[in-house]
Amino acid sequence: MNQLAFVVKLFFKEGLYQPINLGNPAPINMLELAKETIELTQSKSQVEMRPLPGDDPKQREPMIEKAEKILGWKPVVDRRSGLIKTIEYFKSTLN
């Protein structure tokens, strides 16, 4: 089943009224993600550090157990490959 089919399955799931993470469970912090995105886009952007809200998690690590259990879903693309595909898509769409 392709990834879009899982989103459609989630949309039509009866009795489901809770968030379901569809992210990659590999932990990363926002500074690492920002640097990786800048590198992959070959941007000249600079990371600007600002105070975090008190409830902001220091490390992102989506819990995907619900998606695995309820939808039979798990990621098939690692973060870096997904970022590259996303960047390529937007470059082709915006040009």
The residue extents of the domains of the chain are 3-48+55-94
Question: Count H helices, E strands: the chain?
Answer: 4, 0
Q: Measure the CA–CA gap between 59 and 53, rounded to whole angstroms.
A: 14
Average confidence (pLDDT) over 1-20: 76
In this prediction, residue 59 carries a pLDDT of: 67
Could you say which of 3.30.70, 3.30.450, 3.90.320, 3.90.25 is the CATH number of the domain covering 3-48+55-94?
3.90.25
For 17-68, how does the pLDDT look when each residue is reduced to its tens digit (9 = 90+)?
788 887 888 888 889 999 999 999 999 999 999 888 888 776 677 788 888 8
CA of residue 59 relative to chain centroid, distance: 13
What pLDDT shows up at residue 2? 66
Q: Structure pTM?
A: 0.71
